Amino acid sequence: MILTGKAFKFGDDINTDYIISGKYKFKTLDMKELAKHVMEDLDPHFYEKINEGDMIVAGSNFGCGSSREQAPLAIKHAGISCVLALSFARIFYRNAINTGLPVVECDTSQIEEGDLLEVNLGEGTVYNKTKKINIAVSPLPDVMIKILADGGLIKHFQKHGDYNF
Amino acid sequence: MGKTIAEKIFSTHCGKEAEAGDLVVADLDFIMAQDGTAPLAINSFNEMGGKRAFDPSRVALVIDHSAPSPNEGVSSLHKLMREFAADKEVILYDIGDGVCHQLLPEQGHVASGDLVIGADSHTCTYGALNAFSTGVGSTDLAAAMISGKLWFKVPETIKYFCQGSWPGGVFSKDLILRIIGDTGADGATYLASEFSGDAISALEIEERFTISNMVIEMGAKAGLMEFDEKVERWLKSRTGRPPQAVFADDDAVYLDVRKYDVSNLEPQVACPHTVDNVSPLKDVEGLPIQQAFLGTCTNGRLIDLKIAAAILGGKKVSPAVRFIVAPASREVYLEAMQQGILKALVEAGAAVVTPGCGPCVGTHNGVPSDGEVVLSTANRNFKGRMGNSNAFIYLASPATVAASALEGKITDPRPYFA
C-alpha cells in the first residue's frame, strides 16, 4: 500500500495525553468525536488543518505515557494515514499495529513541516517528494508484519482464533 | 549464561528457556483493565468473537479513573463494564474500591514470579513484589482475556544498584525521580529495570511500589525488585498462593549497571511538563502553589498519608492552597480513619475525595485553573494532565507536598524529620 500526504511536524516525547486528553477519552467510545480533539493541547486547530491522508512526523519517543488505545484510534479516525517518528514508545507502537495505524520508524530530521511524503508500506520505504530524497526505514518485527498483514490483532484473532505466528 | 529476573519469569511462562531478544507467547497469571481502557477492550473482545474469559478468576475490571461517574457518557461506559463483568463472571471492583494498582496487590491477585498485564501503563507497579507486570493497550488485553496469553519480546535489563542510608525527609519518590531525570523519558524504552542494594532492602513494600510504579516514565516495561523477607511477609497476609521467588543469577547479563547512593540524596521535584525534567527541590524552593494533591497509584498508600499527617497534624494548610487527598483504596481509607490519620489531614484543611484516579488524570475532583501551580504526589505532569493545559504540575514526595501545602510554596520537608 502506498500512502501519500503532507507532513505535520511535532517534537520529541509527544505523550498520549497530548494525542488525546484524558478529559475526553473517558467519556465516549465514539472515535470520530475523539478525533476532533487530537493533538489539541499542542495545536488547538490541528484537526481543522489536516486533510485525509496527511501524516504526523515526530522526533523520539512518540506516544509515551499512558496505554490508552484511544491515541492511535483518534489519530486514525482524524484521517491521518501514517505516523513517522525517530522512535516510538513501546505500548503506543503495539497499539498502533494492533489497531491498524501504520507507524514508521525513520530519520525524521530529513522532513520539514509541509513536505509531501510517499510511504510504501509493503516495501518499507519513505520518499520525501518535496526534497526528492529517500529515507531509510527500520523494519517491523516479523510478528507485527503478520498482525498488520491480517489487518490488526482483531482480524488476526477472527481468522486464527488465537495467536498464529 | 546467567539470567535476569525478567528472563527467568518469561522462561517459566513460555515453556522454554527464554533469553533477552526472544519473541515468546507467554501464559499470563492475571489480567486487569480500568474504566479508561476496559470499554474498548470489551468491544475488541466481542469483535474477536470472544465467548468467555479464559479463566474469570484471573481477570479483573476496575472502575477507578472516573469514579463515581462525573457525567452520563462515563456512566454508560461504567454500565458496559458492569454488565460484561456480570455476564462473563470476571472480578469487578466498583467505585470507591480504589485504584487498580493498589487493589491488585492488596487483594492478593499478584504473587512473586507472576506474569501480569494490565491495560494501564502503570501496571509495572507490581515489580516491587518480584513479579513481571507491564502495561498494554485494549486490543492486546482483549486477546489476552480470550487466550490467557500474550506475545512479548523478552527485554534486556538495566540494573539500578542503590546503596546507602536514607536521610530523614528523603524518600523512595525522590530516588525514582532522580533516576528518571538521569535516565530520560525514553532512556529505558523496550527494557526492563531491576532495583537492588541495601537502600532498596531498607524500604517497606509500600515505598517500593512507588519506585516500580514510575519506571514507565523512563519507558521501561517493568521495574523488578528482589524477593526478600518483607515481600514474603507482605504476600502471606494478602494471598493464599505460595510465592515463586525469582532471583537473578550472579552472572546475569545486564545492558548496564547504574549505581546510586541515597546517603547524599536531596528531595527532588519533577517540573512541568515532562517527568524527566527533574531538579533538586532547592532549585524551585519558594515557588507559590495553589493546589496540593496527595494520592494516586504512586503515593496514595497508608504510609504516604501517615507521613503527611505527621507534618500537618495540629496545623492548618496555607489559606492560599487547596489540599486534595485521595486514599489509594477503601482499605487504605478505613485504616487511615482508624489510625486518626484522616482526622489530622481533614482538620488541617484537606478535601478528601473517593479512592480513585480522578485528579491525576483530569477527569474530575480537582481540575486546576489557568496559570495555577499544582504540587502533586502523582507520576505524571504532562501539560493538560490534570484537565487544564494552562496549569503547571510539579511532582514530589508526600512529605514535600505536605510541607509545601502548609507553607503555600514549594518547601523542603527535611526540617520535619531532623
Chosen domain end from B197, B228, B260? B260
Cis, bond preceding A160 (omega within 30 deg of 0): no
The verdict on a CB contact (< 8 Å) between B384 and A65 is no
- Structural domain total, chain B: 2
* Same domain membership, residue B253 and residue B274: no
* Same domain membership, residue B273 and residue B233: no
B302-312 and B330-338 helices, crossing angle to 10°: 40
Query: What is the average pLDDT value for chain A, to the nearest integer?
Result: 94
Chain A touched by B284 (CB under 8 Å):
no
Chain A touched by B223 (CB under 8 Å):
no
Closest chain B C-alpha to A91 CA, distance in angstroms: 6
* Same domain membership, residue B274 and residue B253: no
Query: What is the average pLDDT value for chain B, to the nearest integer?
Result: 97
**Of 3.90.950.10, 3.20.19.10, 3.40.50.300, 3.80.30.20, which CATH number belongs to A2-139?**
3.20.19.10
Chosen domain end from B227, B260, B293? B260
Confidence of residue B337 (pLDDT cuts 50, 70, 90): very high
The CA distance from B226 to B212, in Å, is: 12
Choose the closest CB to A143 out of B37, B151, B385: B151
Q: Which domain holds residue B396?
A: 269-417
The verdict on a CB contact (< 8 Å) between B151 and A157 is no
pLDDT tens digits, residue range A73-93? 999 999 999 999 999 999 999
Closest chain B C-alpha to A157 CA, distance in angstroms: 6
> What's the pLDDT at B208?
98
> What's the pLDDT at B386?
96
Q: Which residues of chain A does B362 touch, with a Cβ-Cβ cutoff of 8 Å?
A: 21-23
Chain B touched by A24 (CB under 8 Å):
no
> What's the pLDDT at B134?
98
Q: Which residues of chain A does B222 touch, with a Cβ-Cβ cutoff of 8 Å?
A: none
* Same domain membership, residue B90 and residue B213: yes
* Same domain membership, residue B274 and residue B255: no
> What's the pLDDT at A141?
85
Choose the closest CB to A41 out of B25, B151, B389: B389
DSSP states of A93-116? HHHHHHHT--EEEB-GGG--TT-E
Choose the closest CB to B221 out of A64, A87, A90: A90
> What's the pLDDT at B154?
97
Contact B324, B305 (CB under 8 A): no
* Same domain membership, residue B222 and residue B277: no
The verdict on a CB contact (< 8 Å) between A66 and B44 is no
The verdict on a CB contact (< 8 Å) between A64 and B186 is yes
pLDDT tens digits, residue range B68-95? 999 999 999 999 999 999 999 999 999 9
* Same domain membership, residue B174 and residue B211: yes
Q: Any residues with CB less than 8 A from the CB of B115 and at least 6 apart, and which?
A: B9, B10, B13, B26, B27, B28, B29, B131, B132, B133
Confidence of residue B232 (pLDDT cuts 50, 70, 90): very high
* Same domain membership, residue B137 and residue B46: yes
Chosen domain end from B219, B242, B260? B260
Contact B37, B119 (CB under 8 A): yes
Choose the closest CB to A163 out of B65, B138, B149: B149
Contact B171, B262 (CB under 8 A): no
Residue of B28, B32, B40 to mutate when probing chain A, most A C-beta within 10 A: B40
The verdict on a CB contact (< 8 Å) between B48 and A157 is yes
Instruction: State the complex-level ipTM.
Output: 0.94
The verdict on a CB contact (< 8 Å) between B384 and A18 is yes
> What's the pLDDT at B331?
98
pLDDT tens digits, residue range B242-280? 889 999 999 999 999 999 999 999 999 999 999 999 999
Count of other CB atoms within 10 angstroms of residue B207: 21
Chain A touched by B78 (CB under 8 Å):
no
pLDDT tens digits, residue range B307-333? 999 999 999 999 999 999 999 999 999
DSSP states of A24-76? HHTT---HHHHHTTTTTTT-TTHHHH--TT-EEEE-SSBTBS---THHHHHHH
> What's the pLDDT at B1?
83
> What's the pLDDT at A27?
83
* Same domain membership, residue B320 and residue B203: no
Sheet holding A116-120, edge to edge: A103-105, A82-85, A55-58, A2-9, A116-120, A125-128, A133-135
Residue of A90, A93, A101, A145 to mutate when probing chain B, most B C-beta within 10 A: A90
Angle value at C-alpha B140, between B137 and B144, nearest 5 degrees: 130
CATH code, domain carrying B184: 3.30.499.10
* Same domain membership, residue B405 and residue B326: yes
Q: Which residues of chain B does A99 touch, with a Cβ-Cβ cutoff of 8 Å?
A: 137, 139
Chain B touched by A37 (CB under 8 Å):
no
Closest chain A C-alpha to B212 CA, distance in angstroms: 15
* Same domain membership, residue B82 and residue B18: yes
In this prediction, the residues of chain A whose per-residue pLDDT falls under 50 are: none
Q: CB contacts < 8 Å between A and B, how many? A: 143
* Same domain membership, residue B279 and residue B256: no
Q: Which residues of chain A does B75 touch, with a Cβ-Cβ cutoff of 8 Å?
A: none
In the predicted structure, residue B66 carries a pLDDT above the cut 90:
yes
